[in-house]
Amino acid sequence: MTDEPRFRSDMTVELVKHSAADTDVLWAARVSTAGEQSLDELSKDPERSKGLINYLMRDRHGSPFEHNSMTFFVSAPLFVFREFHRHRVGWSYNEESGRYRELEPVFYVPDATRKLVQQGRPGKYEFVEGTPEQLKLVEAAMTASYEQSYAAYQEMLEAGVAREVARATLPVGLYSSMYATCNARSLMHFLGLRTKHELAKVPSFPQREIEMVAERMEAEWARLMPLTHAAFNANGRVAP
């Protein structure tokens, strides 16, 4: 591979397959009191269905929200994936491997919308806009570092060094890709920690890059399960 390093600031999130609908929650919840029910039966009373989902969310009856599945394709920097993999319950991951394939030279460089300066003490801080000079420095320093590290990686590969050894020179700003599969309950827990939202009862301070991924996942989930998403927001964005 002889590609020159490429730089980007966006994140890729694609919903590649799913089995997820609000009726999955209703079906799972009502079996405890009514036994098996058809989908037609579940959809007869929309207000009752909305109320039941809200009740389950409010009183934190979580298991009915697990009977669904969403698989996302995600392309993001390695440092985002290291945070992502802290979420283990209800998640499955398969990531591209630097042992078995030559890694492409795609690297993260923040754009002008990324706040660069952290102010305040740990546990009570905020990020503010950087100066044009700081942004220029970040861009120059990152691109120079990426170019040097990828050149070293290529040099080792061309000398016959194994991919799993040569990859050690590559930085966490390198883009990787993975499939991530979850259910609505595990996704809600992820969103509660990895988004900052005005309706959240519990404050969260996510790194902006993983929040960008979370926001795109949430948009797809909201389309699939609008009643569940609305109940999540109405009850403080706390996973049941």
Active site residues: 194
Map the chain to HEC letters: CCCCCEEECCCEEEEEEEECCHHHHHHHHHHHHHCCCCHHHHCCCHHHHHHHHHHHHHCCCCHHHHCCEEEEEEEEEHHHHHHHCCCCCCEEEEECCCCCCCCCCEEECCCCCCCCEEEEECCEEEEECCCHHHHHHHHHHHHHHHHHHHHHHHHHHHCCCCHHHHHHHCCCCEEEEEEEEECHHHHHHHHHHHCCCCCCCCCCCCCHHHHHHHHHHHHHHHHHCHHHHHHHHHCCCCCC
- Residue closest to 202 by CA, chosen among 194, 210, 214: 194
Q: Do 102 and 1 touch, CB atoms closer than 8 A?
A: yes
